[in-house]
Amino acid sequence: MITKEELSRKTPEELFTLLLEFQEKLLNKENEISKLRHHLDTLLQSKYGRKSDQIDHSRQGTLFNEAESVEVDEEVIRQADEEITTVTTYTRKKPGRKPLPNNLPRVRQEYDLAEEEKHCKCGATLTKIGEDRSEQLEFIPAKVQIIEHVKFKYACKCCEDTIKIAKGPKLPIPKSIASSSLLAYILVSKFKDHLPLHRQEQILQRIGIDIPRNTLAFWVIRCGELLKPLLKEAKKIQMEYDIGYSDESTVQVLKEKGRHAENKSYMWLFTGGPPEQRNFIYEYHATRAQSVAQNYWSGFSGYLHTDGYVAYTNLFAILPIQGVHCWAHARRKFTDIFKANKTQKTGLCHWAVSHIAKLYKIEREAKEQYLIPDQIKKLRQEKSIPLLTEMKKWLDQNIERALPRSPIGQALAYCLKYWGNLIRYVEDGRLDIDNNLSERAIKPFAIGRKNWMFADTPQGAEAAATLFSLIETCKYHQVEPYAYLKLVLAKIPTCKSDEDYRQLLPFNLKILMP
C-alpha cells in the first residue's frame, strides 16, 4: 500500500504511471472474478440445470458488461429468433398403443357360449357371425438347459492297439461350461444393458445357477481376447477410407501396475470406414497423450473430425490429415455462458447461437431431402458459405471489444483459432458439420460407466473396449447384438485367416434387429 505522504511526494508523471498500473491490476482482478464466477455458474448449471444446448428464452438476466457494450443489429436478432423457433418445433406422434410384433408366436385361446346360451328368446338357434379379438403379451422367463456333448469311442478288438474318438465342436472357451449363447447373454447384459456382473450373478442364482462373479469376469476377458482379431480387420477398413472421427472419455482402473487407483485413464474412440462398413473401435490407454492418437492414425490420410483438444491439432501438423472441427463444441462455448448466466435475448452469445442454428438448419434440409454428397456440397456452397463469411466478419469485429480472459472472449477466440478447420466441412459433401457421430458412440460407454463405475484391471478395460466396439458397430448397422455375438462366438474358433475374421464383422453378417 502507498501512503498519502508517499503520494504527495510524487510528480504528476509518476502519479499518472501509478494510476495506469492500478487500472491494469484492477482490470486483471475483474477478469479473474468474472472467470471464477463463470466457472461457478457453469458447475451449478451442469449439476442442476438443463443439459440441452438450445436456448430457453423464458430466462431473464444480464450478459457480461463487455458483451452488452457491443451493438447488435436488432433485425438480425429478430430473424435469428425465428430460426431458433423453427429449430425447436417438432411433429407430435399420434396417440395410441403400438401393435404387438407379428413375428412373435401366438397361442389362440377360444371362448364360446354355453350350449344353453346359444338360443334366442324367439326360440331360434343363434348363428356364429364373427369373432371379437384382443391380445395380451405374456412373458416367459429365460429357459436354461444343459447341452451334453457325447463323443463316441471306437476300438479294435482284434489287436487292441487302436482307439479312436469322434471330434467334438470347437468351443469359445475350451473346458468351460459356457456356451456361445450364455457368453453372448452375459456380454450383452453388461455392455449393452449396462448390468454389472455382480447383479448378473444374483439373477443367475435366482434360477438355480451358481456362477461366481470372478468366473463371469474371466469369461468376459477371454471373450475380449477371442474377438480382438475382428478389430484388427475393422481398423484396416478405417485406414482404407479417407474420413475418420475421434474422441475420448475417462475411465478408472483400480489395479494397474505403477499407478494409483484414483488416477484417471482414458477410453479412446476411433471411427471410420465408408458408411456401409463404418465401424467403431474403442481402445483403452492409461494416458490422454498425443502419442495415442498419433500411433493409431499413423497409417491414415484424409479428413479427421475432432474437437479442439491439442493432441489432435498437433496431429494435423505431423500427419497428412486435415482437421474437421466440431461446430457443436464451438456452439457449446456460447451456450454454456448463456445457460450459466441466465441471459436474456440480446448480446453476443445469443447472436452466435442463433447464427450457428442457421448452419444446422441447412444440414437438416440436406438430410430431409436425402441429398447425395455432391448435392450437399452444392447446397453448402450456396447457403452455408455466406453465413460462415458473415460470422467470420462478426468474430473479427468483436474479438477486440471483449476482455481476452473472459468467457465470451475465450469463446470468440476459440472460433477464430480453429476457423480453418471449422469451415472445412463445406469442402466435401461427405463430411459432417460436427463430431456428433463420435459423441453418440461414446455416450453408451459413459452411461455404462455410471453403472459399473470402474474397471478392476487393465485386462478388463481392454476387454470392455473390444466388446463396446462390436456392440456399437452392431447398433450403427441395426444388427441385433445378442444374435450376432452368439453366432460369432460359435464361429470364431474355426477362423484361420484374416478374411475369415473380416467376414464376421457386423455389417457382413446382416443379422438385422426385429
Residue extents of the structural domains in the chain: 170-325+443-514, 327-434
**Cβ(455)–Cβ(262) under 8 Å?**
no
Confidence band for 91, pLDDT divided at 50, 70 and 90: low
pLDDT the model gives residue 366 = 95
Among the ranges given (298-307, 312-321, 397-406, 458-467), the one the predictor scored with the smallest mean pLDDT: 397-406
Top pLDDT among 427 and 78 is at 427
In the predicted structure, residue 56 carries a pLDDT above the cut 60: no
Q: Whole-prediction pTM value?
A: 0.77
pLDDT the model gives residue 64 = 31
How much of the chain exceeds pLDDT 70, in percent?
84
In the predicted structure, residue 264 carries a pLDDT above the cut 90: no
Average pLDDT, the chain: 84
In the predicted structure, residue 92 carries a pLDDT above the cut 70: no
Confidence band for 254, pLDDT divided at 50, 70 and 90: confident
In the predicted structure, residue 74 carries a pLDDT above the cut 70: no
The predicted model gives 376-401 an average pLDDT of 95
pLDDT the model gives residue 71 = 41
The predicted model gives 152-167 an average pLDDT of 89
The predicted model gives 493-509 an average pLDDT of 94
The predicted model gives 158-177 an average pLDDT of 89
pLDDT the model gives residue 341 = 65
- 252/262 Cα distance (integer angstroms): 7
Cell numbers 453418440 correspond to: 440
Grid coordinates given for 506 = 457386423
Q: How far is CA 159 from CA 66, 111, 152, 162, 163, in A?
A: 101, 70, 20, 8, 10
In the predicted structure, residue 432 carries a pLDDT above the cut 60: yes
* Nearest in space to 326 (alpha carbons), one of 313, 342, 317: 313
Chain centroid to CA 64? 33
The predicted model gives 357-376 an average pLDDT of 95
The predicted model gives 34-45 an average pLDDT of 69
pLDDT the model gives residue 87 = 43
Top pLDDT among 185 and 449 is at 185
**Cβ(284)–Cβ(314) under 8 Å?**
no
Among the ranges given (41-45, 75-79, 116-120), the one the predictor scored with the smallest mean pLDDT: 75-79
In the predicted structure, residue 450 carries a pLDDT above the cut 60: yes
- 91/93 Cα distance (integer angstroms): 6
- 334/321 Cα distance (integer angstroms): 28
Q: How far is CA 184 from CA 188, 192, 348, 484, in A?
A: 6, 11, 52, 8
The predicted model gives 430-444 an average pLDDT of 91
The predicted model gives 293-301 an average pLDDT of 94
* Secondary structure letter of residue 406 according to DSSP: S
The predicted model gives 147-151 an average pLDDT of 91
Confidence band for 364, pLDDT divided at 50, 70 and 90: very high
In the predicted structure, residue 86 carries a pLDDT above the cut 60: no
- 110/107 Cα distance (integer angstroms): 10
The predicted model gives 240-258 an average pLDDT of 86
3-state secondary structure of 322: strand
* Nearest in space to 188 (alpha carbons), one of 510, 471, 499: 471
pLDDT the model gives residue 59 = 40
DSSP sequence for 8-62: HTS-HHHHHHHHHHHHHHHHHHHHHHHHHHHHHHHHHHHHHS---SS--TT----
Per-residue HEC secondary structure of 194-258 comes to CCCHHHHHHHHHHCCCCCCHHHHHHHHHHHHHHHHHHHHHHHHHHHHCCEEEEEEEEEEECCCCC
pLDDT the model gives residue 93 = 60
- 463/299 Cα distance (integer angstroms): 24
Instruction: Provide the Cα torsion 359, 364, 369, 374; round to 10°.
Output: 50
Confidence band for 58, pLDDT divided at 50, 70 and 90: very low
